[in-house]
Amino acid sequence: MNIWALCSLVAGLLNLILGLYVCCKSPKKLLNKLFALTAFSFAIWGISEFGHRISDTQETAFLWIKFGGPGWCFMMSFYLHFAIIFARKEKYLKNIFTYLFLYLPPLLFLYLFLFTDSIYINEAVKMYWGYTSLPGKFAWTYSSYYTILYLFAVSLFLYILRKGTPPEKKQVRPILLGYTTAWLIGTLSNVVFPLYGILLPELGTGITIVWAGSTFYSIFRYKLFISPVKENDTSAPLMFKLEKGTIYFTKEENSNRAYKVFIDQISHGIPGLCFSKFPAEKIREEYKILYTPIIHITFKGSEKDTIGYKDIEFMSSTILDFIKKTKTAVILVDCLNEIIMVNGWKKTASWLEKLREKCTNSVLVFSINTELLDSKQKLYLKENLKLFAG
């Protein structure tokens, strides 16, 4: 067996399995769909390369080469689209020019590849590693476009590393490493070297094994693409019946009442998300919370696996993304006093109002020491939030 062809086959099948796995995890989620399309594109490319490398005739090899066109033409567009959703930059997708930028050039490149020799010459060339194709005079245009998409996606991943939640930061690191490795080696071997007459086996498809492997690692180690996990259900009856679309607050210094409400909800099958001024490990140990995501908030937000109190807009996007994934949820914030102190009352009140408008199918619970508030702030809470005194 041709070792170079076998490498392409393994990469193609691995990406096919990866795409099917991610799609089956949450088939209705756009994030999963776009990633699966990226993996399927890599799979088409890899299986195509396997086919033309083991072909006995030039004609058969040429058909296999053409078969791979849709894969490598669209793979980076799907991946950038995925990165936009992952980084919560959907605002870019409200502009039709974003879609034209993502998908019109690949359609043009695919047409040129299938019907002209501008991107690759219209014949299969026999090499010691099997039949292959050589770049045409305008191959550099595809390479340039591909690089722009790559850099754009990297900027989004770096944004997640700076502003993402602690779980997202962990998820994105192996993906970024595998993605960069695959892009660098693939671009050099498949585009740069052939353009300068350096004829070596193309490694673009084979190196996607690294990308697929890093993604599998992020899935199994950091739960990438897996929907939020519910706590184990209890057989005890629900103690507190909360109204969806309502923001509750508890008047207390130590947040125990708020956590009592929160744990009652998540132990009855309701997905939960917690923002705490205490480290996640401490909260899990004290309240026996096993799976529910807990985000530690600090004044600087620079410590490992933390965000800052001033990042309330990012807190909003995290809450809305969580609710979008779960359809309905209970959100606990045990540090409203600190949020007010850092951001000011006007900005905090505006933030609370936006959350109330958006979270119509979920419940938010804030723990607050009202003794630290002035009369105006207390009046706002009384008129706009619901006191939980149970």
C-alpha–C-alpha distance, residues 21 and 39, integer Å: 10
pLDDT of residue 338: 93
> Is the Cβ–Cβ distance between 307 and 273 less than 8 Å?
no
List the one residue out of 199, 227, 251, 290 whose CA is nearest residue 24.
Answer: 227
Where do runs of H (alpha helix) occur along 87-138? 96-115
pLDDT of residue 25: 78
Ramachandran assignment for 29, one of left (phi > 0), alpha (psi -120 to 50 degrees), beta (any other): beta
> Is the Cβ–Cβ distance between 351 and 233 less than 8 Å?
no
Q: Which residue has the higher pLDDT, 352 or 388?
A: 352
C-alpha–C-alpha distance, residues 310 and 319, integer Å: 15
pLDDT of 227 higher than 60 = no
Token reading at 272:
């939960």
Band the pLDDT of 305: cuts 50, 70, 90.
Answer: low
Kind and range of the H or E run holding 364: strand 363-368
Share of the chain above pLDDT 90, in %: 50
Residue 162: CB atoms within 10 Å? 7
Band the pLDDT of 166: cuts 50, 70, 90.
Answer: low
Q: Which residues, 6+ apart, have CB-to-CB distance to 97 below 8 Å?
A: none
List the one residue out of 188, 208, 153 whose CA is nearest residue 40.
Answer: 208
C-alpha–C-alpha distance, residues 149 and 80, integer Å: 6
pLDDT of residue 254: 82
CATH of 246-387, one of 3.30.70.260, 3.40.1280.10, 3.40.50.300, 3.30.70.20: 3.40.50.300
pLDDT of residue 390: 59
Sorted by where each begins, the domain ranges of the chain are 3-222, 246-387
CATH of 3-222, one of 1.20.1050.10, 1.10.3720.10, 1.10.1040.50, 1.20.1070.10: 1.20.1070.10
Q: What is the pTM of this model?
A: 0.67
Pairing of strands 130-132, 125-127: antiparallel
C-alpha–C-alpha distance, residues 356 and 247, integer Å: 7
78-136 confidence digits (pLDDT tens): 999 999 988 878 889 989 999 999 999 999 999 999 999 999 998 899 999 999 998 88
pLDDT of residue 302: 60
Sequence-distant contacts of 314-320: CB under 8 A, at least 24 apart: 314/163, 315/275, 316/351, 316/354, 316/355, 316/358, 317/88, 318/165, 318/273, 319/273, 319/355, 319/359, 319/364, 320/358, 320/359
